[in-house]
C-alpha cells in the first residue's frame, strides 16, 4: 500500500506541475493561424515569446511523461480499468511525440521566422504540425482520466469538475482537428480555450492526488 500511496503522490505532483506549465504555454502561445504566411509573421513579431513558450512546453510535456509513467506503476484506482490504464499509457507517448514539436519550434522554426527564411519555415512547420498532433491525443487521454474520476466513488475532486474536464478534453481534440486538419480558424481558438480549461483541472487534480490520505487508494474497477 505504501508503494501505491507514494506513486500517487509523486505522479500527482508532476501532473500538477506539468499542467500548470501547459496553462502558461497556452496563454503565451495563443491560436494558430490557418494561413502559413500570417503564422510566420506572428512568430517573427514575437520570436522571443514564441521560443520561451515552447521551451516551457518541452518541460511541461516531459513532466507529463514522468507523471504518466509513475501513475502506471501505482496499481491504484487510477489505473483500475482497461480504458484508464490505456489513457495513462497514452499520456507519456503523446507527450514525448509532441515534445519534438516544442523543441523544433523553440529553435529552428523561431530562427527561420526571425531570418525570413520561408522555405525552411515551411518545411519545419510541416514537421512540427504533424508531431503536434500528439497533443490532441493527450487531450483525449485526459478526457478518459477525468471521466473515470467523475464516476469513481473515491474521487479526489467534485464530480462536476471532472465532467467539465472530460468535456474540455473532447472539445480540445475537436478544436485541434478543425483548426489544423480542416483549416477552420475558429477551431484553433476553441482548442486554446478548452486546453487551458483542461490543464487547469489537471493542476487541481494533481494537487488533490498529492493530498490523498495514506491507505485511501486501493485498486477499484472502472465504472
| Residue 199: closest CA among 145, 159, 156, 150 | 145
Between residues 175 and 74, which one has the greater pLDDT?
A: 175
pLDDT at 1 over 50: no
pLDDT at 208 over 90: yes
CA distance 107 to 111: 6
Q: How many CA atoms lie within 13 A of 125 on its CB side?
A: 21
53: left (phi over 0), alpha (psi -120 to 50) or beta: alpha
pLDDT at 140 over 60: yes
Work out the average pLDDT over 137-158: 90
Burial of 100 (0-12, 13-18, 19+ CB in 10 A): middle
For 53-63, how does the pLDDT look when each residue is reduced to its tens digit (9 = 90+)?
999 999 999 99
For the ranges 121-130, 170-179, 214-223, which has the lowest average pLDDT?
214-223
pTM to 2 decimals? Answer: 0.90
Between residues 16 and 76, which one has the greater pLDDT?
A: 16
For 79-134, how does the pLDDT look when each residue is reduced to its tens digit (9 = 90+)?
878 999 999 999 999 999 999 999 999 999 999 999 999 999 999 999 999 999 99
- Contacts with 83 (C-beta within 8 Å, 6 or more apart), sequence order: 144, 148, 222
- Contacts with 37 (C-beta within 8 Å, 6 or more apart), sequence order: none
CB 43 within 8 A of CB 29: no
- What pLDDT does 214 receive? 56
* Percent over 90 (pLDDT), the chain: 82
Amino acid at each position: 500500500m505504501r508503494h501505491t500511496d507514494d506513486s500517487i503522490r509523486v505522479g500527482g505532483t508532476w501532473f500538477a506541475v506539468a499542467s500548470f506549465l501547459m496553462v502558461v504555454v497556452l496563454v503565451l502561445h495563443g491560436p494558430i493561424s490557418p494561413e502559413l504566411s500570417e503564422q510566420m509573421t506572428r512568430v517573427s513579431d514575437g520570436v522571443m515569446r514564441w521560443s520561451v513558450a515552447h521551451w516551457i512546453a518541452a518541460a511541461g510535456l516531459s513532466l507529463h511523461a514522468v507523471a504518466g509513467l509513475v501513475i502506471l506503476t501505482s496499481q491504484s484506482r487510477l489505473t483500475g480499468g482497461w480504458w484508464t490504464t490505456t489513457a495513462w499509457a497514452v499520456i507519456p507517448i503523446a507527450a514525448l511525440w509532441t515534445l519534438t514539436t516544442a523543441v523544433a519550434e523553440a529553435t529552428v522554426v523561431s530562427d527561420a521566422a526571425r531570418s525570413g527564411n520561408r522555405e525552411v519555415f515551411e518545411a519545419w512547420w510541416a514537421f512540427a504540425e504533424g508531431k503536434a498532433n500528439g497533443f490532441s491525443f493527450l487531450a483525449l487521454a485526459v478526457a478518459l482520466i477525468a471521466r473515470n474520476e467523475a464516476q469513481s466513488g473515491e474521487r479526489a475532486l467534485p464530480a462536476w469538475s471532472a465532467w467539465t474536464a472530460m468535456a474540455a478534453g473532447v472539445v480540445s481534440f475537436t478544436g485541434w482537428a478543425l483548426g489544423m486538419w480542416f483549416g477552420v480558424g475558429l477551431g484553433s481558438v476553441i482548442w486554446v480555450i478548452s486546453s487551458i480549461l483542461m490543464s487547469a483541472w489537471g493542476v487541481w487534480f494533481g494537487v488533490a492526488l498529492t493530498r490523498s490520505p495514506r491507505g485511501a487508494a486501493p485498486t477499484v474497477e472502472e465504472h
